[in-house]
Amino acid sequence: MTTSAVNPDPDIVLRGGQIVTGVPSAPRAQALAILDGRIMAVGTDDAIAARIGPRTRVIELDGRTVIAGINDAHDHVGDTPFGTEAVTTTPPMADPSLADVTEAVRRAASSAPEGGWVRAVVGPSVMRDAPASSLAVAAVAGNHPVLLSAWWGHGVIVTSLGLKTLEIDDKIINASGGEYERDEAGHLTGKMDEYAGWSALEHLHSQAGAAATNDALQAYGSRRLRQGVTSVQIMAGYQEPDRFVSALDGAALSLRLRVVAFPLPDAQGDGMQHWADLPFRSKDRVTVSGVKWILDGTPIEQLAFQTTPYPGRPDWYGRPNFSEDHLRVQLKAALNGGEQILLHVVGDAMAEQVLTIMEEMAPPERWAPLRVRFEHGNGLTGRRIARAQRLGIVIAQPRPTSPIRAWVKAGIPVAYGSDMGFPPFVAFAQMTDPENPNSVSREEGLAILTTLPAFAEFAEEHKGTLAPGMVADLVVLSQDPLTTAQNRIPATRSIMTIINGEIVHADEEVM
């Protein structure tokens, strides 16, 4: 046996840097070696230099910081544009007026294809009065159906022509998890809350076409690689399951993608039947696993389920999307060996209900290995924190105002999620800002971007740290987020992203 067969040359060596391994026993290194898509060795420059062979590509880091690939534990992909977009003068998050939205729809309708959809993203003031909003935009849209969607993702308004196009009329009944708003006479206003709205969006985004979807996926993949993201856990739901997973397979993105089932309940059942013919499996870098349920809304549209009433509405506490029986059925499926369950939980009353049901159903030692996830988890406060820790709850995509410090201190794993709007180092800057009373240390923040999202998807044995045997998913950063000035952190980007030992993104100056 030859020496080279025993100790093969690494494919790539990165040296002369600040390598943050994420391994508590050896948190820092200067160099690492990659072979066949995995980390071969991590150590000092001298130790790794001894492994370099004639076929090894050596990359000089010049003191730059290297971290494990960022894992986005909660994002939404597949919202391929349909119809003609109406762009308001005021950005949606700044809450454009109805007049602004109406004028944007008028302009878009004037250039839209005959009978084609017009869509606009709006804020709370327009969403709050569906009858007036629907009538106003319909009056200027001509023969174009119009869909207005909330910028935070909960709720849509469709004009009467839009309802007709979608074949929705006053006879429709509320499916489990969603509601069609009606006026006092029982007629639809066009407002669709929660699962009712997502059903309409799934239908429309699915009609956008394969070419448009592929273009959108390619643009998405490029953007995430530049941010240093190597893995994404996708909350599905914008397109029909088989269509969406096929599109991801066909796009062949460099990213590692986990697709989480997002069932849409209908007259036939809880919606899982639409995922049944799509085996939960791994193909190349696309994995299908887990099931997500959105249990309540958000405070913006006042559907998060709270223990205290909303301001100005003394009798309104929000509401759960599903019955307690539905929740028990889904939790029992997870408890009996089903897919990991991911629960969108925002209001404190919603968190209380879930924790209480879990405690009634089984002891903590049965729940903890299942890693039940709370997506967002805003209402996980006070004594609920210790209860959640005992049950093994994992929190993904926390909001900046959430009690992240208390969660981390209690031992609850917290995982970064962009949720379509928080680039990794924007989120990192928010959660580590000393002015934020809920802030964590920068080292803890880095684990929230890398190590803990891997734990959140049962992948910590394969990725999330830079150690021998782990997949070679890593990022060379433009600056060190552990030492740079707080106000400069959001500008941190990847100058080289490596996935499975392959350079998939790099600035020209480092190639």
* Sequence spans of domains, the chain: 3-63, 72-76+208-494, 84-205
Q: Please give the distance of CA 208 from its chain centroid, rounded to a whole number.
A: 22
Give pLDDT, residue 274: 77
Q: Each residue of 112-139: pLDDT tens digit?
A: 999 999 999 999 999 999 999 999 999 9
Q: How many CB atoms lie within 10 A of CB 333?
A: 15
Q: Each residue of 349-386: pLDDT tens digit?
A: 999 999 999 999 999 999 999 999 999 999 999 999 99
Which band of pLDDT confidence, cut at 50, 70 and 90, is reported for residue 2? very low
Give pLDDT, residue 275: 82
Give pLDDT, residue 281: 54
**Superfamily of chain region 3-63:** Urease, subunit C, domain 1 (2.30.40.10)
Give pLDDT, residue 276: 76
Which band of pLDDT confidence, cut at 50, 70 and 90, is reported for residue 1? very low
**Using CA atoms, how far apart are residues 452 and 465, in angstroms rounded to an integer?**
10
**Using CA atoms, how far apart are residues 90 and 121, in angstroms rounded to an integer?**
11
> In whole numbers, what is the pLDDT of the chain averaged over residues?
94
- Say yes or no to pLDDT of 5 above 60: no
182 to each of 159, 174, 185, 317, how far by Cα in Å?
Answer: 13, 11, 8, 20
Q: Each residue of 238-286: pLDDT tens digit?
A: 999 989 988 998 999 999 999 999 999 887 778 888 787 665 555 568 8
Which band of pLDDT confidence, cut at 50, 70 and 90, is reported for residue 483? very high
Give pLDDT, residue 452: 98
- Give yes or no for a contact between 167 and 200, defined as CB atoms under 8 angstroms apart: no
How many Å is the Cα radius of gyration of the chain?
Answer: 24
Q: What is the mean pLDDT of residues 4-26?
A: 90
For 84-205, CATH number out of 3.30.70, 3.40.50, 3.10.310, 1.10.3470 equals 3.10.310
Helix (H, G, I), strand (E, B) or coil at 37: coil
Percent of the chain at pLDDT > 90 equals 89
Torsion angle, alpha carbons of 187, 193, 194, 196, to 10: 30
**pTM for this model (two decimals):** 0.94
Of 148-152, 200-204, 275-279, 479-483, the poorest mean pLDDT is in 275-279
Q: Which two tokens stand for residue 296?
A: 């309540």
Q: Which two tokens stand for residue 440?
A: 């964590």
Q: Each residue of 390-420: pLDDT tens digit?
A: 999 999 999 888 999 999 999 999 999 999 9
Give pLDDT, residue 269: 78
Angle formed by the axes of helices 98-111 and 130-141, to 10°? 30
Give pLDDT, residue 282: 55
Give pLDDT, residue 116: 96
Domain 72-76+208-494 adopts which CATH fold? TIM Barrel (3.20.20)
Q: What is the mean pLDDT of residues 147-169?
A: 96
- Say yes or no to pLDDT of 225 above 50: yes
Instruction: Kindly state the DSSP code that residue 511 receives in the 8-state scheme.
Output: -
- Give yes or no for a contact between 199 and 233, defined as CB atoms under 8 angstroms apart: no
Q: What is the mean pLDDT of residues 36-60?
A: 96
Q: What are the residues whose beta carbons fall under 8 Å from the beta carbon of 83, sequence distance 6 or more?
A: 112, 116, 117, 118, 119, 147, 204
